[in-house]
Amino acid sequence: MLEKDMENLLEKHWVEFLPNRKLVLLGRQMLLGGYRADLVFQEGNKAKLLLEIKRGLLMRDAVGQIGTYYGLLRQAYPSDEIKLMLVANIIPKELTIFLEEKIGIEVLEIPVSQINQVAEKYHYRFEDEVTAEQKVVTRKVIEELDTSRRRCRVWIFQANPQRFDILNALADDRINEDVWLVNRHKDEIKKNDIGLIWMSGKEAGIYAVVDIISDPEFLVDSAVSSQYWIRDEDKQQRKLRVRYKYKIKFPGNPIYKQELKNTGLSILKFAQGTNFPVRDEDWKVISSIIEKKFR
């Protein structure tokens, strides 16, 4: 799922996301000065509603961007009320309170699952939808994940989306290999093991499969992935980590934790932590679900 997909669906089917509003689309990528606003709607007779759309986690810098749009839209429509709305898949509660109560900017959190539901309802095809050729390649990759042949273990690596913007990190084509923190099981996680990238929170589940390509060692995260940490103190820190390489990414169609409720995954019983072992019987269930996604 691309940011463009969210924009497409909000443009054509905004009533699914804002059912209690009476809106008329004025423009998409509307030119305001030297900038382009994602979506601008007419609301009633004397109000304009500007939507700025962000995939993944809503970051603080989006506030400055939409503030610029406000000034430009105010110049274009001096007698109208100007309303602002920031849209993202994940919006931290503290940022919601600040924006809505202190600044007067509305927020709209649209989880990936809701995007998928609306897309399915209207038979919408995502811009980055997996092609038939890619499915063939992916099926071959899945065959390589046979733990009985590899004689390896499987681990869950958990990301907190309010601390690390995992959805946008997964979508970044520059990141094919990276490092992940190891806070537990440092003597058990080994090179050639399999890792499952898990996002915590409302949309908790598995979003990617990786090959672990080193034993744990003290490493610094890359400059590219470092930009997705929310707090500066988390960036470019030398910590115990493993190197990994992505095998399959499916951030737009994850395996939600509800699909795994009949497994014995330890992360479902106690979700605090970064690293969790996966039993062989649970990996069989997970790998079967992954295979069905790419049939």
Q: Kindly list the domain boundaries of the chain, sorted by start residue.
A: 3-121, 132-293
Mean pLDDT computed over 81-100: 93
CATH of domain 132-293: 3.10.590.10
Instruction: State residue 132's pLDDT score.
Output: 65
For residues 178-194, one letter each, b for 16 or more C-beta atoms within 10 angstroms of the residue's C-beta and e for the rest, the string is: bbbbbeebeeebeeebb
Residue 168, phi then psi, degrees to nearest 5: -75, -30
Mean pLDDT, residues 16-35: 93
Which tens digits make up the pLDDT trace of 55-87? 999 988 888 888 888 999 999 899 999 999 999
| Under 8 Å between Cβ of 111 and 202 | yes
Say if residue 134's pLDDT is above 90: no
Among all chains, which residue has been given the structure tokens 């959805």?
A: 167
The answer to whether 3-121 and 132-293 have equal CATH topology is no
Paired tokens of 35? 């900038």
Q: Which residues pair with 178 in a beta bridge?
A: 244
Residue that has been written with the tokens 């399999």 in this structure: 194
Q: Which CATH code fits 3-121?
A: 3.40.1350.10
CA neighbor of 191 nearest in space, from 221, 217, 219: 217
CA distance linking residue 139 with residue 135, whole number of Å: 6
What does the pLDDT look like over 198-227, one tens digit per residue? 999 999 999 999 999 999 999 999 999 999
**β pairing state of 255-256 and 23-32:** unpaired
Is the Cα dihedral 71, 72, 77, 83 positive or negative?
negative
